[in-house]
Amino acid sequence: MRLFAIEGGVQSPVLTLHIEALNGPLLKVRLPKVTLDHMEKDSTETLSLTLRNAGTEELQWEVISEAPWLVVEGNTPSGDGDRTAADEKDSKLGSVEQGASNRWKTGNSGLRGIGAKDIKITVDVTGLPEGTYEGGIQVRSNGGDEELTIPVTILSLTSISLTPISIRMAVRDRMKLRATGLWSDGSRTDLSSGSDGRWIISDPSTGFFLRRQPVFVAKGTGFVEIRRVRGTVSSNAAFVEVEEDTAGPVLQVSPHEVDLGTIGPGEASKSVISLKNVGGGELVWQAYGLGDWISVEGGTTSGTAGRSGRRLRVSVESVAEEGPPVGGLFAVRIRLEEGHNFVSYGKFLSAGSYREELKVYFNGGERSIFLKFVVAEKGSRPAMDIQPLGIDFGSIAADGTLTKKIELRNVGKNVLKWGAVLQGSRKTFRGVTLEKGRYVSFANEAATGKDRYLVPERLKDGVEISGEWAENEGYPYSTGEDALFRYSFSGSGITVFLWKDISGGTAQVFVDGRLTTEIDCASEERKRIELTAAENLVEGEPHLFVLTVRGGTMEIEGARVYTTAGLMQGRRGWIGISPERGTTTNEADYITVSVTPEGLSAGSYSENIIFYSDTGIEVVEVSLDVAGGKLPELLDIYRYTKGKDIQLSPEVAQGDLLLQGYRKEGPLFRLFRKGTSGTSEFFQWHNPSKGTHFYSYNQSGWKRSLEGYVFDGSIGNIATLKLPHTRDLYTWFNSETGAYFYTTDPKGEDFRKKGYMYDGVAGYVR
- Domain co-membership, 607 together with 655: no
CA distance 66 to 639: 93
Of 296, 272, 417, 398, give the one whose Cα is nearest residue 347: 296
Is 1 inside a domain boundary? no
Is 2 inside a domain boundary? no
- Domain co-membership, 207 together with 288: no
Higher pLDDT among residues 517 and 172, named by residue: 517
| Three-class secondary structure of residue 476 per DSSP | strand
- Domain co-membership, 468 together with 526: yes
Is 750 inside a domain boundary? yes
To 5 degrees, how large is the angle CA 490–CA 494–CA 497?
A: 130
What is the per-residue pLDDT for 748? 84
Is 12 inside a domain boundary? no
Burial pattern 526-539, b for ≥16 Cβ within 10 A else e, equals: eeebbbbbbbebee
CA distance 140 to 233: 43
- Domain co-membership, 39 together with 141: yes
- Domain co-membership, 142 together with 52: yes
Residue 374: band (very low, low, confident or very high) from pLDDT cuts 50, 70, 90: very high
- Domain co-membership, 408 together with 527: no
Tell me which of 15-29, 360-374, 651-665, 692-706 is least confident: 651-665
Q: Is the pLDDT of residue 171 over 70?
A: yes
Residue 581: band (very low, low, confident or very high) from pLDDT cuts 50, 70, 90: very high
Higher pLDDT among residues 563 and 351, named by residue: 351
User: What would the pLDDT profile of 403-461 be if each residue is shown by its tens digit?
Assistant: 899 999 998 888 999 999 999 888 888 877 788 889 999 998 877 777 789 888 888 88
**What's phi and psi for 14, nearest 5 deg?**
-85, 130
Is 317 inside a domain boundary? yes
Is 21 inside a domain boundary? no
Domain that holds residue 146: 27-155
User: What would the pLDDT profile of 105-150 be if each residue is shown by its tens digit?
Assistant: 334 547 889 999 889 999 999 999 999 999 999 999 998 999 999 9
Work out the percent of the chain whose per-residue pLDDT is above 90. 28
Q: If 0-12 CB within 10 Å is exposed, 13-18 middle and 19+ buried, where does residue 441 land?
A: buried
**What mean pLDDT do residues 689-708 have?**
82
What is the per-residue pLDDT for 672? 87
Task: State the chain's maximal CA–CA distance in angstroms.
Answer: 127
- Give the CATH number of the domain where residue 332 resides: 2.60.40
User: What would the pLDDT profile of 588-614 be if each residue is shown by its tens digit?
Assistant: 999 999 998 888 888 889 999 999 998
Give whole-number Cα distances, 732 to 552, 693, 698, 742, 755, in Å: 43, 12, 17, 6, 10
- Domain co-membership, 218 together with 294: no
- Domain co-membership, 289 together with 232: no
User: Which of 82-86, 284-288, 548-552, 678-682 is predicted most confidently?
Assistant: 548-552
**What's phi and psi for 635, nearest 5 deg?**
-115, 125
Is 57 inside a domain boundary? yes
**What mean pLDDT do residues 383-391 have?**
92
User: What would the pLDDT profile of 607-631 be if each residue is shown by its tens digit?
Assistant: 999 999 987 889 999 999 887 654 4
- Give the CATH number of the domain where residue 131 resides: 2.60.40.10
Give whole-number Cα distances, 215 to 74, 173, 197, 277, in Å: 39, 10, 14, 21
Final residue belonging to a domain, choices 631, 646, 675: 631
Final residue belonging to a domain, choices 155, 173, 194: 155
- Domain co-membership, 670 together with 705: yes
CA distance 318 to 375: 7
- For 363, residues 6+ apart whose C-beta sits below 8 A from its C-beta are 167, 168, 169, 170, 173, 174, 175, 248, 249, 282, 283, 284
- Domain co-membership, 525 together with 608: no
Q: Is the pLDDT of residue 363 over 60?
A: yes
Residue 658: band (very low, low, confident or very high) from pLDDT cuts 50, 70, 90: low
- Domain co-membership, 222 together with 361: no
Residue 566: band (very low, low, confident or very high) from pLDDT cuts 50, 70, 90: low
Give whole-number Cα distances, 598 to 399, 484, 572, 674, 712, in Å: 5, 39, 12, 21, 37
Give whole-number Cα distances, 309 to 280, 369, 534, 538, 567, in Å: 14, 16, 12, 17, 18
User: Is 163 in contact with 339 (CB distance < 8 Å)?
Assistant: no
- Name the strand (E) or helix (H) holding 18: none
Check the CA dihedral 689-692-697-700 and report its sign.
negative
Q: Is the pLDDT of residue 199 over 90?
A: yes
CA distance 416 to 55: 63
pTM above 0.75, yes or no: no
The mean of the pLDDT values for the chain is 83
Burial pattern 739-750, b for ≥16 Cβ within 10 A else e, equals: bbbbbeeeebee
- For 291, residues 6+ apart whose C-beta sits below 8 A from its C-beta are 356, 357
Q: Is the pLDDT of residue 330 over 70?
A: yes
Number of other residues whose CB lies within 10 A of the CB of residue 397: 21
Final residue belonging to a domain, choices 196, 212, 243: 243
Residue 304 is which amino acid? T
| Three-class secondary structure of residue 221 per DSSP | coil
What is the per-residue pLDDT for 572? 85
Residue 100: band (very low, low, confident or very high) from pLDDT cuts 50, 70, 90: very low
User: Is 535 in contact with 600 (CB distance < 8 Å)?
Assistant: no
Torsion of CA 664, 670, 674, 676, to 10 degrees: 180
Give me the number of domains the chain comprises.
6
User: What would the pLDDT profile of 209-254 be if each residue is shown by its tens digit?
Assistant: 988 888 899 888 888 999 999 988 999 998 898 887 666 788 888 8
CA distance 447 to 473: 8
Is 8 inside a domain boundary? no
- Domain co-membership, 126 together with 37: yes
Please report how many Cα atoms fall inside a 13 Å half-sphere around the Cα of residue 176, on the Cβ side: 20
CA–centroid distance for 579 within its chain: 31
Beta strand spans in 627-691 (E): 634-642, 645-650, 663-672, 679-687
